[in-house]
Structure 1
Amino acid sequence: MITRRTFTAALLAALPLTLLSAPTLHAQDLREITFVQPSPSAINSYPVFVAIGEGYFAEEGLKVNVEAINGSGAVLQALSAGQALFGRPGPGPLLAARSRGVDAVFFYNVASRNNFGIVVRADSDIQDLEGLRGKVIGTGTADGAEVGFARNVMSDAGMVAGEDFEFLTVGDGGPATVGFNSGEMSAYSSSTADSAVLNHRGMKVRDITPPKFARFFGNGLVTMGDTIRNDRELVEKFGRAFIRGHAFALDEANREKVMTHLTAGNRQEGEDPEFQGALFDAIKSKTTPVDMTNGLGYLPEEVWEEWQESLVAGGELQSPLDDLTSAYTNEFIADWNEVIK
């Protein structure tokens, strides 16, 4: 059961992130809200930081504070406990939460292309998933989106966690490098950002995820069902500003401004401009839809069905949800895309 105390403890243990607000002449008139993300990286949530820096949220009458907490599970706890109004968890953890009665709703597809992969060291003898039978797969968190993704991929290959392979929570970045070097893990369920960090730090990795999993979109915008029903105008405002930040950052002509906004959001990432730029390019490539027919943010029904099937097969869901369509909505997407035309 999610409690305020549980979330507070998670928040105190979380990595700090600079809280930002767009400059405005009437700051006291802005509605202050909190957005939670599953890691401290500003680049992973780049549309939010661009929308803050460009003043898009302020134009909607909002002051957005950003909090970084550890993983999608913690993000969903924050939303359920009323500690935040918007967050960016993965679809797997969201469906698992809904199966426990948490009325969280996905309403914008940020990582429209799969942003996870199972990676091994570049010089590893392991060439495919079968090579991980009897091995250990490291993860950044115990219940984050990367865990559900890896479980689904391994289930598709006929392997079950705890029987054919093991998960080991090792953390991100440096701890993952230690996990590889110590031999504690043979593979790592990695986000695009994690892989970029490992490669940048000299731990060269290779992705062995089957290509068919590229269709599985990743983390996106989530709020509680009550917020959509009772505070619809807020959702409309947040989404309008967000999609403007998303579109602004996708335009290469705005790159210099985007990097400035991201550095303001996480100064550590901005200390190495070359790495910051490479990481942004990697993340950005995952947030550009393959098919722009429905514009930015659209959530394909058929992939939600595939996500659910994979979660059931992998044991993360005991059975399909009574109403899968209640887990997500595209009701705002067309109007928001009109804003950026």
Structure 2
Amino acid sequence: MRFMQTIFSVAILALARLVVPQQALAEQADLRITIPVKALLYYPVFAAKDLGYFSEEGINMDIVVTQGDGPDVDALIAGSVQFAATTPNRLLTAYEQGKSLLGVMTISKRIAINCFMNKEKADALGVTESTPIAEKFQKLKGLTIGGTRPGAFTNLLAADYIKRGGMVPQQDARVIGVGAGPAMLAALENKQIDVGCIASPTPEIAVSRGKSIMFMNNTLGWDKEFEEFLFAVLYVRPDYAKANPETVRKVIRALQKANAYIINTPFDQQLTLLQKEYGELDPAILRDALTNTQSAIEPSGKISQRSVEAAEKLFISVGVLSKPIPWDAVTDNSFLAKP
């Protein structure tokens, strides 16, 4: 039965490419988009490409993975890419530095960085998945938390957790950069770090290996402090959006189609595409990771004032933003398709 489902899924993917209008294929515009890591958080970008949604809009999209946020936005500011789908820290800090960027669509309405803890350490500290959040944060004293790289959202989130535990980051608990995916798994299992923070599917893989527990599942809304949060955002430069408004709309339409597909299509019909992009992982791991991702997607793409203010609160807390920024100075919902 699974074999027939896989064959059916492959056929659907092939047909998706065949039905793209010939005129669109003949007039493809070459565009580039950066993402920080190849996590399920950015699955909509890959789905829009693989299912032909970008092509339907007349776009040949090149996806560039920068292995951590920072270089992804640097490329956007430098003009070597037209779009970035990434976390919101640079959207806000760049404004404060006089380098305005524009958020035109939200992909994730919640923080999609989840944290996992070394099981031996968790057992020693008496931490379980159901331990109250405030107590979990207090238990971070003396531990080392791994994010992808210094200044990345993963590291900033870890610093916020330390502060919410009543401690000083880097003094009472350390935050270090260890890279993404396999590098973070190895660091935790080799006890170089006690907690790792990154997007799916790495936390699910870690838990499935039996050497970790889920410490914080933000995509499922465990942390009520950030239940609505501007997280995965589609950025452009304001000058590019002004000069190319229809191109911005086309990219957004393609991503909205991808979001609808991800939310509404049964897992078994997505498995082939998921394994194409994220490797031959155990389907059970991919199912859990997809469920987490689906719960965080914002179907409308609309950026809310509340979500921007929640992001500002975190960045002010960890010292990368000095004061709140008017939310409509860095966002613009006018490129979204009207309901």
TM class by shorter chain equals 0.7 to 0.9
More moved, 106-115 vs 182-191:
182-191
Give the residue type in structure 2 aligned to 1:329.
D
Match of 2:303 in 1: 299
Measure how far apart 1:334 and its partner are.
Answer: 5.1
Give the residue type in structure 2 aligned to 1:250.
I
Provide the rounded CA distance (Å) in 2 between the counterparts of 1:174 and 1:83: 28
Give the residue type in structure 1 aligned to 2:330.
A
Q: Tell me, yes or no, if the aligned pair for 1:121 and 1:180 is still in contact at 8 Å.
A: yes
Residues 1:306 and 1:113: Cα distance change in structure 2 (over 3 Å): closer
Cα displacement string for residues 213-263 of structure 1 (whole angstroms, at most 9, x for unaligned residues):
33334222111111222111111111111101111221135x455333344
Is 1:165 aligned with 2:153? no
Q: Tell me, yes or no, if the aligned pair for 2:117 and 2:196 is still in contact at 8 Å.
A: yes
Match of 1:33 in 2: 31
Give the residue type in structure 2 aligned to 1:153.
Y
Give the residue type in structure 2 aligned to 1:143.
G
Alignment of 1:182-197 (within 5 A): 182-197=190-205
Q: Tell me, yes or no, if the aligned pair for 2:70 and 2:152 is still in contact at 8 Å.
A: yes
Match of 1:276 in 2: 286
Match of 1:325 in 2: 328
Match of 1:64 in 2: 61
Residues 1:161 and 1:244: Cα distance change in structure 2 (over 3 Å): same
Give the residue type in structure 2 aligned to 1:296.
S
Q: Tell me, yes or no, if the aligned pair for 2:87 and 2:232 is still in contact at 8 Å.
A: yes
- Secondary structure at the residue paired with 1:45? helix
Of 310, 316, 320, the residue aligned with 1:312 is: 316
Match of 2:296 in 1: 286
Q: Tell me, yes or no, if the aligned pair for 1:30 and 1:62 is still in contact at 8 Å.
A: yes
- Kindly tell me the number of residue pairs found equivalent between the two proteins: 305
Percent identity over paired residues: 20
Residues 1:306 and 1:211: Cα distance change in structure 2 (over 3 Å): closer
Q: Tell me, yes or no, if the aligned pair for 2:249 and 2:336 is still in contact at 8 Å.
A: no
Q: Tell me, yes or no, if the aligned pair for 2:35 and 2:64 is still in contact at 8 Å.
A: yes
Match of 1:250 in 2: 263
Provide the rounded CA distance (Å) in 2 between the counterparts of 1:226 and 1:256: 42
Measure how far apart 1:153 and its partner are.
Answer: 3.1
- Secondary structure at the residue paired with 2:333? coil
Q: Tell me, yes or no, if the aligned pair for 1:160 and 1:314 is still in contact at 8 Å.
A: no
Structure 2 residue runs without a partner (length 5+): 1-15, 128-135, 217-221
Residues 1:327 and 1:160: Cα distance change in structure 2 (over 3 Å): farther
Residues 1:105 and 1:201: Cα distance change in structure 2 (over 3 Å): farther
Q: Tell me, yes or no, if the aligned pair for 2:119 and 2:213 is still in contact at 8 Å.
A: yes
Is 1:86 aligned with 2:83? yes
- Secondary structure at the residue paired with 1:137? strand
Q: Tell me, yes or no, if the aligned pair for 1:156 and 1:310 is still in contact at 8 Å.
A: no
Match of 2:219 in 1: none
Measure how far apart 1:305 and its partner are.
Answer: 1.5
Q: Tell me, yes or no, if the aligned pair for 1:49 and 1:262 is still in contact at 8 Å.
A: no
Structure 1 residue runs without a partner (length 5+): 1-20, 290-294
Measure how far apart 1:133 and its partner are.
Answer: 2.0
Provide the rounded CA distance (Å) in 1 between the counterparts of 2:189 and 2:255: 40
Provide the rounded CA distance (Å) in 1 between the counterparts of 2:310 and 2:53: 35
Measure how far apart 1:210 and its partner are.
Answer: 4.2
Residues 1:158 and 1:325: Cα distance change in structure 2 (over 3 Å): farther
- Secondary structure at the residue paired with 1:72? coil
What value does the CA root-mean-square deviation take over the aligned residues? 2.6
Of 236, 247, 250, the residue aligned with 1:223 is: 236
Of 141, 154, 158, the residue aligned with 1:133 is: 141
Q: Tell me, yes or no, if the aligned pair for 2:147 and 2:178 is still in contact at 8 Å.
A: yes
Measure how far apart 1:48 and its partner are.
Answer: 2.3
More moved, 66-75 vs 154-163:
154-163
Give the residue type in structure 2 aligned to 1:132.
L
TM-score, L = length of structure 2: 0.80
Residues 1:68 and 1:314: Cα distance change in structure 2 (over 3 Å): same
- Secondary structure at the residue paired with 1:132? coil
Give the residue type in structure 2 aligned to 1:48.
V
- Secondary structure at the residue paired with 1:115? coil
- Secondary structure at the residue paired with 2:225? helix
Measure how far apart 1:28 and its partner are.
Answer: 4.3
- Secondary structure at the residue paired with 1:33? strand
Give the residue type in structure 2 aligned to 1:281.
T
Provide the rounded CA distance (Å) in 2 between the counterparts of 1:334 and 1:30: 21
Provide the rounded CA distance (Å) in 2 between the counterparts of 1:187 and 1:52: 33
Measure how far apart 1:49 and its partner are.
Answer: 2.5
Residues 1:152 and 1:106: Cα distance change in structure 2 (over 3 Å): farther
TM-score, L = length of structure 1: 0.80
